[in-house]
Structure 1
Amino acid sequence: MTTAQELDERYGRTRRKRAPWVIAIIIAVVGVGAFAWMTATREMQSVDADDLGFDLVDSHTVTVRFQLTGVQGKDVACVVEALDEEFGIVGWKVVEIPAGEEHSQAISATVPTVAEATTGLVNTCWVA
């Protein structure tokens, strides 16, 4: 004759261990929290540069105007490039922008070139 305990074991009515599930849920919550924290800190340090225009001063100089949007109270550095008609780089310069209290700043940078440029633009910016 089978007992009630044997029937419970046969048909899966035994107590399941909860420890593995609890540990898995804790690990998942910690992982999601770490991912959210890394994303938030990366976004707080991001800098966005939008080209506003350029002026060809002469055959060896270009002035690039751009708007810097991003972090407040931190120094920023940007790479500004001058390109020829085939989009080859004929001049570039690292522009260091001191910390400002405004969320957005209009910047103008003069780039010396080795040949005549047809355009100027901002390649990238980062928190210095």
Structure 2
Amino acid sequence: MKSSLANRYGGQKRPVTRKTKITLIISGVVVACGLAALLNVNVSNVDSVNFNTVSFSANDPSFAEVDFQVSKDRTHEAVCAVKALDNQFAVVGWKYVDIPANAADFGAENGRTTQQRVSIRTESLAVSGVVDSCWSKG
């Protein structure tokens, strides 16, 4: 009877040896390290755009100006979202600003960092203006 069951369903499975377990664990660690390195290389190649709000002014309830710096690869274009806020931190004005590619002799750091000024229409008197975010275009 035993041989007919073995013929039908196959013989008993051999247990996984210690050597096989160690080989599988080491292989898994090597694959995980390789994937982590690959993801790190891909993330570091993504264009980073950094920004810094420099100043703000609003002398009129319907108008505000924000000065800011943008640092990016000079050959790429970017977009920044700039907002004006009232004294309760409500957004009273919002504008997208296109940042063009630069020549090496434009701005600072060989064209990497540029100064920007944007005028924003506001619903009421703004008490502050900030750059909300910037990202690479394209």
TM-score by length of 1: 0.77
Alignment match, 1:6 = none
Query: What SS does the corresponding residue of 1:16 show, helix, strand or coil?
Result: helix
Which 4+ runs in 1 deviate beyond 4 A?
Answer: none
AA in 1 matched with 2:50: D
Match of 1:90 among 74, 89, 92: 92
* Shift of residue 36, structure 1, vs aligned partner: 1.8
1:22-37 equivalent positions in 2, closer than 5 A: 23-37=27-41
1:1-128 equivalent positions in 2, closer than 5 A: 16-17=19-20, 20=24, 23-42=27-46, 45-101=47-103, 102-128=111-137
The structure with more strand, counted as a fraction of residues: 1
Distance 1:92 1:67 in 2: 17
* Shift of residue 60, structure 1, vs aligned partner: 0.5
How many pairs were matched up?
113
CA RMSD in angstroms comes to: 2.1
Q: Provide Cα deviations, 1:64-115, integer angstroms capped at 9, x if missing partner.
A: 0001112221111011111111111001000111111411000000000111
Distance 2:102 2:31 in 1: 41
Structure 1 residue ranges without an equivalent (≥5): 1-13
Distance 1:50 1:86 in 2: 22
Structure 2 residue ranges without an equivalent (≥5): 1-16, 104-110
* Shift of residue 19, structure 1, vs aligned partner: 5.2
AA in 1 matched with 2:81: V
